[in-house]
Amino acid sequence: MRNKNGFTLVEVMVVVSLIVLLLAWGAPSYSKWKQKHDTEGQILGLYNNLQVARMTAYSRKTVTGIVWTGSGTSMSSYQVVRDESNPLEGTITDNGVDKNVLDGSLYPAGVSMSVSPDITVDPAQADTVVTFDGRGFQKDPAGAVTFSFATGNGAAIDCVVVSSTRIMTGKMNGATCTPQ
């Protein structure tokens, strides 16, 4: 009798083809899950940073908010900034004077939070800033500001609304952000 050690070529080919079929079946699902997860993660990150700005404004009794880069209704990156001018003039957009709130705590100095794809801002802001006063209230005279992703990828949370007294996450339903 012959001693059989190892696997035959046919057995190896069957196992490899089964692995390839499983990977081909799972790759599209992983791609959709990753896109959904990234959307939710970036919206929750923006929500958390807006809360940090609001609480910093309240605790330090100074104007704090987020300043973003982008054009019109598009935001590609942002910073959480507080008014550090002397005397306090109530704005957070004077370069070189105001301080990035996240410096030295969670992120290195001067860090900007990047978002991809760009987040849509509604209404289109004349200034690329949302600020909170020393009481923690949003200072924008236009009212509520909505940040959202334009992609319909099935994310449970894909927008943030900043009103004068609250910051809420939600799901875009047409042109409105429905709180979750």
User: Each residue of 39-98: pLDDT tens digit?
Assistant: 888 888 889 989 988 998 898 888 888 888 776 677 777 888 887 775 566 677 665 555
Rg from Cα positions in the chain: 24
Which of 61-65, 124-128, 157-161, 175-179 is least confident? 124-128
Q: What is the mean pLDDT of the chain?
A: 78
Q: Which amino acid is at 35?
A: Q
- Fold for domain 9-179? minor pseudopilin epsh fold (3.55.40)
Domain ranges of the chain: 9-179
CA distance 150 to 20: 34
Task: State pLDDT tens for residues 100-124.
Answer: 665 544 444 444 566 656 677 765 5
Task: Write phi, then psi, for 127 (nearest 5 degrees).
Answer: -100, 145
Which of the 8 DSSP states describes residue 15? H
**Residue 51, C-beta contacts closer than 8 angstroms, at least 6 positions apart:** 167
- Asked whether the whole model's pTM tops 0.85, one would answer no
Q: Take residue 20 and report the two structure tokens written for it.
A: 């390839």
Q: Which residues pair with 166 in a beta bridge?
A: none
